[in-house]
Amino acid sequence: MAGPGPVGPPTANGRSRLLQSPLALMDTTMDQLRTLIVVHEAGTALGAARVLGREQSSVQKQLDTMNRNFRDLCGEPLVLKQGRGKDVLFTGTGEALVELARGTLGDWLEGIHESRRRLGRTLMVGTTRFTLGYLAGAGERVAEEFGRRGIELKVGHVRTRDVLAKLRAKDVDLVCGSVVTSPQADAGHDELDAFDVMEWRRSGVSLLTNLPPSRLPGPTVESSELRTLPLVVSASGLMAGVLHTWFGADYRNRLHIAAEIDTVTYGFELLRSGLLRGCMLVTKGVADAAGAPRVAYGRGLRAVELVNDTGPRLEVLLGAFTRRGERAHYDPSHPLNLLWDALALENEQWRREQRWPTEGLEPDPFELANSYHPSES
């Protein structure tokens, strides 16, 4: 006769484990988990209360409840008081639970957002400052349909340097803006391969300068000669990306940076003032418009075409972008497809009404946008 086996509870399957979940755990709310995360970030109950817009006593009560429950569940509290005015100390259990809470809330929020996206109840759109006009016009085209169907269109500001990153992170469903690309990129090696692209404008890179013809004759200059010219350079953004591609990450040490600017508008003013003699990279559209009498930013400046002999030929592409294949998974009536089609119609209208530069008017604002620093666009 076989002897008795080891004493212990029977092995529980997944359902049994859920049914046997401790009441203290079941009573923990998502609001409590959010509070725990905010306390961890703020350091104190008072700091968390300010972030959450609550009374300190309310936050402290939630902390006390979680401390008591998880002391019973795990053997130690989540946080320990350090004294008046000091940040609370998170125990090992507390640190672990904060990470679990972040994951839990993040997964729920992502799941809800994905469901709303799939059903077309919410559409997240990012736009740079100067592409807002495109989106506004397209928004008017779909406003009645969206309103009738209860579709929420959320719009957020995206800096130029973050256009594609926002799509990759699924922070937005569609984004309007500019990217630097190479028309010679091989299929499968171009970062745009991961996106559906609606191209609105494409422009090369040129220089605007106040240098005399004796110093920079023109009408063209090879990009390798940028090493010998005094440059006005944005701290970051599209044109900084061009220099990074051509001259490497330490391009500031390889080039003669006469001035580093926060916004391109300041660069225009700096060159027009004559306080500094140099050149500034802009899109070809902006450079071509500089000679027009009514274009104020170009007065006194001269355009010089940049001929690339340094690295890959680069262009600035302005347009709308979505994750590749996502629109194809939805039917034509899905909000993402409706807005995409509206943007295409808006682009056609802008092209029909476009008079610059043949009549010497102000440049296309979207050509101008391509030369702006991200803080401007």
Query: How confident is the model over 226-240, as pLDDT tens digits?
Result: 999 999 988 777 788
191 and 213 inside one domain: no
Band of the pLDDT at 116, cuts 50, 70, 90?
Answer: low
The last residue of a domain, from among 115, 136, 161: 115
pLDDT tops 90 at residue 338: yes
Containing structural domain, residue 85:
22-115
Tokens representing residue 333 in the block: 């009536």
Q: Average pLDDT for residues 262-290, to the nearest whole number?
A: 83
320 and 195 inside one domain: yes
At 111 the pLDDT is: 78
Nearest CA to 139 out of 339, 347, 354, 362 is that of: 339
Other C-beta atoms closer than 10 Å to the C-beta of 80 total 12
Q: Average pLDDT for residues 29-55, to the nearest whole number?
A: 90
The last residue of a domain, from among 115, 140, 174: 115
Q: Average pLDDT for residues 300-305, to the nearest whole number?
A: 88
Residue 94 lies in a domain: yes
222 and 174 inside one domain: no
At 185 the pLDDT is: 59
Nearest CA to 312 out of 164, 180, 162 is that of: 180
Band of the pLDDT at 293, cuts 50, 70, 90?
Answer: low
Q: What is the CATH number of the domain that holds 75?
A: 1.10.10.10
pLDDT tops 60 at residue 202: yes
The last residue of a domain, from among 115, 147, 169: 115
274 and 345 inside one domain: no
CA distance 47 to 117: 34
CA distance 48 to 57: 11
Beta strands in the chain (DSSP E): 79-80, 89-90, 122-127, 152-157, 174-181, 195-203, 205-209, 220-222, 230-234, 256-261, 279-283, 302-307, 315-323
54 and 193 inside one domain: no
CA distance 242 to 313: 10
**192-220: string of b/e by CB count within 10 Å (b at 16+)?**
beebbeeebbbbbbbbbbbbeeeebeeee
Q: What is the percentage of the chain residues whose pLDDT exceeds 90?
A: 31
92 and 240 inside one domain: no
State the residue for tokens 């609606």.
198
Most confident residue range from 4-8, 184-188, 242-246, 335-339: 335-339
178 and 254 inside one domain: no
Residue 245 lies in a domain: yes
How far CA 229 is from CA of 206, 207, 226, 268, 314, in Å, comes to 14, 11, 5, 17, 20
pLDDT tops 50 at residue 9: no
Nearest CA to 177 out of 239, 140, 135 is that of: 135
Digit-coded pLDDT (tens) for 56-88:
899 999 999 999 999 988 888 999 988 777 889
For residue 60, the one-letter residue type is Q
pLDDT tops 50 at residue 375: no
Digit-coded pLDDT (tens) for 132-179:
888 888 999 999 999 999 898 999 988 877 888 888 888 899 999 888
Tokens representing residue 98 in the block: 């904060």
Residue 177 lies in a domain: yes
Residue 364 lies in a domain: no
Q: What is the CATH number of the domain that holds 248?
A: 3.40.190.290
Residue 10 lies in a domain: no
Residue 131 lies in a domain: yes
At 369 the pLDDT is: 39
At 316 the pLDDT is: 83
Q: What is the percentage of the chain residues whose pLDDT exceeds 70?
A: 83
CA distance 212 to 277: 9
205 and 309 inside one domain: yes
214 and 257 inside one domain: yes
At 210 the pLDDT is: 92
Average pLDDT, the chain: 81
Whether the bond into 219 is cis, omega within 30 of 0: yes
pTM (whole model) above 0.75: no
Residue 47 lies in a domain: yes
209 and 298 inside one domain: yes
162 and 231 inside one domain: no
Domains in the chain, number: 3
Q: What is the CATH number of the domain that holds 323?
A: 3.40.190.10
pLDDT tops 50 at residue 365: no
Residue 4 lies in a domain: no
CA distance 227 to 337: 46
pLDDT tops 80 at residue 20: no
309 and 336 inside one domain: no
